[in-house]
Amino acid sequence: VEIYSLHVDCKVTSRFAHTTITSKIVNRANESREVTFEVELPKTAFITNFSMSIDGKVYPGIIKEKAAAQKEYDTAISRGQSAGLVKITGRKLEQFHVSVSIAATSKVTFELMYEELLKRQLGKFELLIKVRPRQLVKHFQIDVHIFEPQGIRFLETDSTFMTNELTEALTKVQNETKAHILFKPTVDQQKINPELDETLLNGDFVVRYDVKRVATAGDIQIVNGYFVHYFAPHEMPAFPKNVIFVIDRSGSMAGRKIEQTRAALLKILQDLHPEDHFSFITFNSKVVEWKSSLLQATEDNVASATGFMRTLSASGGTDINRALLTAVSLLDKTEKLPERSVSMIILLTDGQPTSGESNVEVIQENIQNAINGKYALFCLGFGFDVSYKFLEKMALSNGGIARRIYENSDAALQLQGFYQEVATPTLMKIEMQYPENAVEGLTKNNFKLFFEGSELIVSGKISNELDLLPVEIKAQSHAGDLTLKEEANVKEKEQVFQNRSYIFGNFIERLWAYLTIQQLLEKSISAQEEDQKSLEAQALELSLQYSFVTPLTSMVVTKPTGQQQTELVNKPTEAG
């Protein structure tokens, strides 16, 4: 079985990435063989299309509501369930896998499409393409086209498998707003060594870039009556932070995990700004406060905390409820915190609540009532014994986010990386306002915090008559209250994307749908049951309308007669 062509074609238009992977395979044996198409794609992406074409006959994947697809599938296969075609394979990727049996000398073409909105983190966008053909491929090609009307500020490619020979197969062409990256190694360049037919191509191919930012009130782009507004102010003074680290030191943290946590915290202590205030709470079945209030991050206090961190050891149970309530009351009662400052609690745990209150619903309610919108709660789940769903709901209900920390040698770096993302809050209470009568279907436009290096995105639909789209951004900065205004000329903005052959026409509308579905799903995590149903119904309707495989839909893949005929493509989630 030979893969004679593998083409990854990726078009990024204003952060929205549309990727098509096409694999052409021939069965050179003189009997029928099973052929497998296996690719890894980012977890943040939604699959939008899949098809197999065998000797010219096309077998398309069809996207349906999950329950309906499951029913159809169960009827087709009464002998129980197959595993589904997609599974999470790592911290950023999930794997799509389908096999089909083809006759001798037959050819099959697999085509998979997926879309995602690239998210700015620590000052850059990252496009990740996983490369793993497992054999030498005669025609191998990765094409990345980027169009950013704001202008490309910098662009770099990076890969885990590059050699000097392979570098020769990589070309980059770039002007003010466009870039084309082409990676097209010959069969000889793909070989580990000339004698063996083994491929070097195994790993990540990454494109990182950022855009130029001139307008103070962000950048607005418009296509076919849909707009997107990007806002990422830079060089703003940071707010002082009041941060409490709530660290699990139960028995399961013993050994490498507590060592990595200690290493990360020692590094984070060095990164605190002098005007920040901080404290530590460590917990197992007992809750220990390092100090009775938050202290300023002076050299002496940081040195004292460093000493405390070095003594951190692990044993006992897990009382998450009392640890978090203690953190909230510590923030409540600390006096003399800077007036304009951002307060946050960062919880790191590797397990379920086992001591004290262990009912997760009660804990969630307790914490939400105690925080009451005053502070942001970030939950880091270490490893796979945590209830990620519980941590995610708790974080999202309290203005923060949850993140899984993988139990690898780089866990300390993952922790530091997360801290870096939230280390520099520069705006709070951000409201991005548009004329009510002229805009509908608006995505989230109020944000608690903006962190340096990230980006706020709002999208919506504009009414037909509009010539000018006025926007107003209100926010609190460290220096004082801020109002930024901008007017976008609808016709001029529409011109930017005219006659661009490599843009798929309705990309802002698809970006709007993608963002809306993501936000509805996120909102439903922390919503009450009756609201949850309506949020999911809206997300389902959009998933079907724009054909996205989301946690609410499935793609039914049909195969030629005589084989296990239908299989399902489902979207796995981090919470499982």
Which band of pLDDT confidence, cut at 50, 70 and 90, is reported for residue 81? very low
Angle (nearest 5°) at CA 17 between 12 and 19: 105
| 564 and 77 Cβ atoms separated by less than 8 Å | yes
Q: Which pLDDT score is estimated for 572?
A: 87
pLDDT at 442 over 70: yes
Give the residue range(s) of CATH 2.60.40 domains in the chain: 2-212+549-570
Burial class (CB in 10 A: 0-12, 13-18, 19+), 226: buried
Task: Give the mean pLDDT of the chain.
Answer: 93
H/E stretch holding 211 reads: strand 203-211
| 63 and 549 Cβ atoms separated by less than 8 Å | yes
DSSP annotation string for 469-505: EEEEEEEEESSSEEEEEEEEEHHHHHHHTTT-TTS-T
pLDDT tens digits for range 521-576: 999 998 988 999 999 999 999 999 999 999 999 998 888 876 666 788 899 888 76
Give the residue range(s) of CATH 3.40.50.410 domains in the chain: 241-423
| 199 and 213 Cβ atoms separated by less than 8 Å | no
Instruction: Out of 68-82, 224-238, 312-326, 481-495, pick the least confident.
Output: 68-82
Which one has a higher pLDDT value, 503 or 248? Answer: 248
| 366 and 398 Cβ atoms separated by less than 8 Å | no
Which band of pLDDT confidence, cut at 50, 70 and 90, is reported for residue 79? very low
pLDDT tens digits for range 401-431: 999 999 999 999 999 999 999 999 999 999 9
Q: Which pLDDT score is estimated for 505?
A: 66
Rounded alpha-carbon distances, angstroms, from residue 30 to 5, 102, 107, 243, 559: 21, 11, 13, 67, 21
Which one has a higher pLDDT value, 86 or 317? Answer: 317
Which band of pLDDT confidence, cut at 50, 70 and 90, is reported for residue 465? confident
Q: Which pLDDT score is estimated for 504?
A: 61
Q: Which pLDDT score is estimated for 564?
A: 65
Task: For domain 241-423, give its CATH number from 3.90.1640.30, 1.10.3720.10, 3.40.50.410, 1.10.1200.10.
Answer: 3.40.50.410
pLDDT at 82 over 70: no
Cα–Cα distance measured from residue 367 to residue 444, given in angstroms and rounded to the nearest whole number: 24
- Please tell me what DSSP assigns to residue 331: H
Establish how many alpha carbons lie within 13 A of residue 11's alpha carbon, considering only the half-sphere containing its beta carbon. Answer: 11
Helix (H, G, I), strand (E, B) or coil at 233: coil
Cα–Cα distance measured from residue 258 to residue 351, given in angstroms and rounded to the nearest whole number: 13
Q: Which pLDDT score is estimated for 499?
A: 63
Which band of pLDDT confidence, cut at 50, 70 and 90, is reported for residue 73? confident
Strands 439-440 and 446-451: unpaired
Cα–Cα distance measured from residue 15 to residue 116, given in angstroms and rounded to the nearest whole number: 8
Q: What is the mean pLDDT of residues 33-51?
A: 94
H/E stretch holding 507 reads: helix 507-525
Residues in the chain: 576
Q: Could you give the strand order of the β-sheet that contains 203-211, starting from the edge strand earlier in sequence?
A: 125-131, 203-211, 152-159
pLDDT tens digits for range 493-510: 988 887 665 556 689 999
The topology under which CATH files domain 2-212+549-570 is Immunoglobulin-like (2.60.40)
Which band of pLDDT confidence, cut at 50, 70 and 90, is reported for residue 214? confident
| 124 and 206 Cβ atoms separated by less than 8 Å | no
- Closest CA relative to residue 138, chosen from 96, 95, 201, 207: 201
- Please tell me what DSSP assigns to residue 358: -
| 101 and 51 Cβ atoms separated by less than 8 Å | no
Which one has a higher pLDDT value, 81 or 104? Answer: 104
